Amino acid sequence: MDPGIGFAKDATHSFEVLARCHEFADLGRPVVVGPSRKSFLARPIKRASLVADIEWPTGAAVAAAVLAGVHIVRVHAVREMAQVVRVADEIRKYHREP
């Protein structure tokens, strides 16, 4: 399942979808998101959506997605984002339900 971050949505919609990925994950189907270099990531940093400006925000979006239970992330900077995924996945292992 791909909620389509960035497609036909404004920045607010994309951030909300990203924040609520756990709801998609709770459906029991694999979830994939592709936040890599999407222009909505430029809004909080108040920069143009140049690739150099949004690599770090992409890492934050990838980490948030993994922590929310997303199974697959589509990215451009594979080596760097693989590190982000590994760390976020390790953190997720220690998550405890209230």
Residues 72, 78, 84, 87: what is their CA dihedral angle, to the nearest 10 degrees? 80
Catalytic annotation, residues: 38, 74
Q: Which residue has the higher pLDDT, 98 or 7?
A: 7
Residue with the bigger pLDDT between 51 and 69: it is 69
The Cβ-side half-sphere exposure at 26, using a 13 Å CA radius, reads 5
Query: Among 46, 47, 76, 48, which residue's Cα sits nearest to residue 62?
Result: 76
Q: What is the pLDDT of residue 20?
A: 93
User: At 64, which helix (H) or strand (E)?
Assistant: helix 51-67
How much is the mean pLDDT over the chain? Answer: 90
The model's pLDDT over 9-55, given as tens digits with 9 standing for 90+, comes to 789 999 999 999 999 989 999 999 999 989 899 889 887 667 777 88
Q: Say how many Å lie between the first and final Cα of the chain, rounded.
A: 27
Q: Are 1 and 46 in contact (CB under 8 A)?
A: no
pLDDT at 62 over 80: yes
